[in-house]
Amino acid sequence: MHDEHHRRLDRQDCKTLTLAALGGALEFYDFIIFVFFAGVMGQLFFPADMPEWLRQMQTYGIFAAGYLARPLGGIVMAHFGDRVGRKKMFTLSILLMALPTLAIGLLLTYAALGIAAPLLLLLLRILQGAAIGGEVPGAWVFVAEHVPSRRIGFACGALTAGLTVGILLGSFVATLINQLLPASAIAAGGWRIPFFIGGVFGLCAMYLRRWLRETPIFIELQARKALARELPLKSVVMSHKKAVAISMLLTWLLSAGIVVVILMAPLWLQQQRGISAPVALEANCVAIIALAFGCIVAGVVIDRFGARKTFIAGFALLAIASWIFYHSDVTQPAQLFLTYGSAGFFVGIMGGVPFVMVHAFPAPMRFSGISFSYNITYAIFGDLTPMVVTLLMSVTPMAPSWYVLALALMGIALGFALPGNAKRMLPSSDGAKAAL
């Protein structure tokens, strides 16, 4: 067992990590591509005489429904992942994303179906939300239980980087379609193309996942008849409250870093700094690429130095880099790309979050513990963060920088709260001592 935990990554590990990251990237692409075409879809799936503000609100409400569906889908899939196997749920999640994405591309509009069109769109969006709720925690657990223990940080960081690539892929496809097709052609059917692309590639990724193996840890639990005897979620809530609290706080940090620095900053640059939309989006692509590399670096560092030191240093650097980005003169593209890219890179400290979470819960209920903590928190703060930051901007246009700074300081405090021994993340959690 000692040799197994300290061996190098082998070919099977690399295949597992690659397929998990590829599937995660495609699922994130499928989940967020909706927002890039929300404007044209709002016009097609709601009455033409509806006020524009109401149409936009209902369109983005359908988008938000995906976030609200994440906890239920994630908790249900995590329950069965802890009871019947990680691989089965890992494969189901990508199928549950690919089919609704294809269906959205085939869906008839309001002109043909009337009120049924937005209702069907809402249903498909809920299915997408349920899928992504099971995918992210499931992927973290799956790779963490496959790779050697001294490479868990790298595996989780690389997988998280793969998820961010899905955001970049969605932005790239949306930009390409808008450049190649006129607005009339997009409204006539061009908006369907990215959904077809996502659905087809999602099915391909599901097929490739057939070659993955069940995690050795789950197989061992089955052999020892050590699977959870009661509802895994009940055990999580009753016996691992501190692990849940720490995981929720870390998920808040993760969601805030992605939402504020990556998703909201391009519009902030345009409105507050007068940066043109093309330049702001180019800078955003630089930041996303830097974020992906930052996640991998965070994983490597956390394997070497542990979560405590990595979080204290990483969140301190995030506070400094984000403050410089928001307060420096970014009217020159070169300076904008440098400061925004630096901020994006240090948002990559979030790549260390799953390392803590997979160590926080014992193996029999690990999937349920992470899924419950992650999805409940992301559903709340994924929706509330943009509204809170926008409201604070009525007081000061620098509200995003203050928000990120406050959460970075909280991340430093959480770093100090973690024990120095990286193999034991939450000393008061009974299950934290369980070896991966």
Q: What's the pLDDT tens digit per position in 323-359?
A: 999 999 888 888 999 999 999 999 999 999 999 999 9
Q: Single out the residue of 17, 343, 341 nearest to residue 161, CA to CA.
A: 17
Q: Which of 7-11, 147-151, 326-330, 432-436 has the lowest mean pLDDT?
A: 432-436
pLDDT computed for residue 5 by the predictor: 52
Q: Which superfamily does CATH assign the domain made up of 234-436 to?
A: MFS general substrate transporter like domains (1.20.1250.20)
Please compute the mean of the pLDDT values over residues 399-407 and round it to a whole number. Answer: 93
CATH class label, 1-227: mainly alpha
Same fold, 1-227 and 234-436: yes
Q: Single out the residue of 426, 411, 330, 323 nearest to residue 369, CA to CA.
A: 426
pLDDT computed for residue 293 by the predictor: 95
The C-alpha angle 429, 432, 436, rounded to 5 degrees, equals 165
What pTM, to 2 d.p., does this model score?
0.82
Give residues with Cβ within 8 angstroms of 403, minimum separation 6: 256, 260, 385, 388, 389, 392
Band of pLDDT at residue 74, cut at 50, 70 and 90? confident
Q: What's the pLDDT tens digit per position in 124-143?
A: 988 888 888 888 888 888 88
Q: How far apart are CA 40 and CA 181, in angstroms?
A: 13
Can you say whether the dihedral through the CA atoms of 24, 76, 235, 381 is positive or negative? positive
Residue 425, pLDDT > 60, answer no
Q: Which of 24-28, 103-107, 191-195, 231-235 has the lowest mean pLDDT?
A: 231-235
pLDDT computed for residue 250 by the predictor: 93
Band of pLDDT at residue 228, cut at 50, 70 and 90? low
Domains of the chain, by residue range, sit at: 1-227, 234-436
Q: What is the mean pLDDT of the chain?
A: 84
Contact 414, 357 (CB under 8 A): no
363 is written with which tokens?
A: 């193996």
Residue 3, pLDDT > 60, answer no
Contact 382, 66 (CB under 8 A): no
The burial class, CB within 10 Å (0-12 / 13-18 / 19+), for 225 is exposed
pLDDT computed for residue 142 by the predictor: 84
Helix (H, G, I), strand (E, B), or coil: what is residue 7?
coil
Q: What's the pLDDT tens digit per position in 84-138?
A: 777 778 778 888 888 999 999 999 998 889 999 999 999 998 888 888 888 888 8
